[in-house]
């Protein structure tokens, strides 16, 4: 897995699943799509064959609803306040944070995966404290919630009366009505020099010039939406999907890339790109949006 993708958690299980009451499933504010047939996947020469991005195939999708943007910190806080839910990162006591976001002492004392040393396993980091002890959500309530596992995301969706989107639904919605375009807005990454998503500029992982206006997460409604009205389906944060990544695997699929993706290392901000992680994993660039039957 490319190093800008969230590392997988390894450690003992955190215990039994927390019980959450199912909500009413109100579709207010969601984008309702009629469904239909579209060409899913890609045979892009710059893609990752091992991720099973292809082949291109025609897929039929039923009508469904999907959030126009990822779940924000403010919305997740409402869920936690209502249910007392404790995320897996909080139960484990740590989660992965990008090293450059940390103060020196945390960067020095936090363990790092050998293959991706720009990630640190930070004790006390969580959705409430994205960069560990001493950090908070001031100025970021409209940013996507991060440090949430697949289990956490599924619990939120249940409380909201919704569900996670399938990969078919996610890609159909992310394409915004375009056939086989590389990005949600077309085939050119920065048409007319305009940045359309929050990804890494510069040299990963050493220097981010932040030409798109953001170093870490951006507000959930940043940048122009795609043709279906969805924001940030490329970049900003990876988004959990309902599906297992492959037959026989417990890993769950993730889509969209994040603010750490860079063409030189991981161009998985392409609309057909995909990757996965264990359902208990979490990091500072991994969030989700909700879907629902319609």
Question: For residue 84, what pLDDT is reported?
Answer: 97
Q: Please, what CATH class does the domain formed by 31-293 belong to?
A: alpha beta
pLDDT in tens, 37-81: 999 999 998 888 888 899 999 999 999 999 999 999 999 999 999
The first and second tokens of residue 60, run together, are: 């039929």
Model confidence, pTM: 0.96
* Pairwise CA distance, residues 109 & 122, whole Å: 9
Sequence ranges of the domains in the chain: 31-293
- Is 166 buried (19+), middle (13-18) or exposed (0-12) by CB count in 10 A? middle
Q: Which residues contact 237 (CB under 8 A, 6 or more apart)?
A: 70, 144, 146, 217, 256, 258, 259, 285, 286, 287
pLDDT in tens, 151-162: 999 999 999 999
| Lowest mean per-residue pLDDT among 43-47, 121-125, 130-134, 213-217 | 43-47
pLDDT in tens, 147-205: 999 999 999 999 999 999 999 999 999 999 999 999 999 999 999 999 999 999 999 99
Q: Which residues contact 245 (CB under 8 A, 6 or more apart)?
A: 251, 252, 253, 274, 275, 276
242: confidence class by pLDDT, cuts 50, 70, 90: very high
């Amino acid at each position: 897995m490319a190093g800008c993708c969230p590392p997988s958690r390894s450690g003992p299980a955190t215990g039994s699943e927390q019980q959450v009451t199912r909500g009413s499933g109100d579709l207010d504010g969601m984008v309702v799509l009629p469904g239909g047939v579209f060409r899913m996947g890609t045979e892009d020469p710059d893609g990752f064959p091992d991720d099973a991005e292809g082949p291109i195939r025609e897929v039929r999708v039923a009508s469904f609803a999907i959030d126009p943007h990822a779940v924000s910190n403010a919305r997740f806080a409402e869920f936690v306040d209502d249910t007392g839910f404790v995320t897996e990162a909080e139960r484990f006591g740590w989660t992965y944070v990008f090293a450059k976001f940390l103060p020196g002492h945390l960067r020095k004392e936090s363990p790092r995966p050998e293959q991706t040393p720009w990630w640190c396993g930070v004790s006390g980091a969580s959705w409430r404290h994205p960069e560990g002890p001493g950090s908070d959500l001031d100025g970021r309530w409209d940013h996507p919630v991060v440090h949430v596992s697949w289990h956490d995301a599924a619990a939120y969706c249940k409380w909201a009366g919704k569900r996670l989107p399938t990969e078919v639904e996610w890609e159909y919605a992310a394409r915004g009505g375009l056939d086989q375009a590389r990005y949600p807005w077309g085939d050119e990454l920065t048409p007319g020099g305009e940045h359309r998503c929050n990804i890494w500029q510069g040299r990963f992982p050493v220097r981010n010039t932040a030409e798109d206006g953001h170093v870490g997460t951006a507000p959930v409604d940043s940048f122009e939406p795609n043709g279906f009205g969805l924001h940030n389906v490329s970049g900003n944060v990876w988004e959990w999907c309902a599906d297992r990544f492959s037959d026989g695997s417990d890993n769950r699929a993730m889509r969209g890339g994040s603010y750490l993706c860079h063409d030189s290392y991981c161009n998985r901000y392409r609309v057909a790109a995909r990757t996965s992680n264990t359902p208990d994993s979490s990091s500072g660039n991994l969030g989700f949006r909700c879907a629902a039957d319609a």
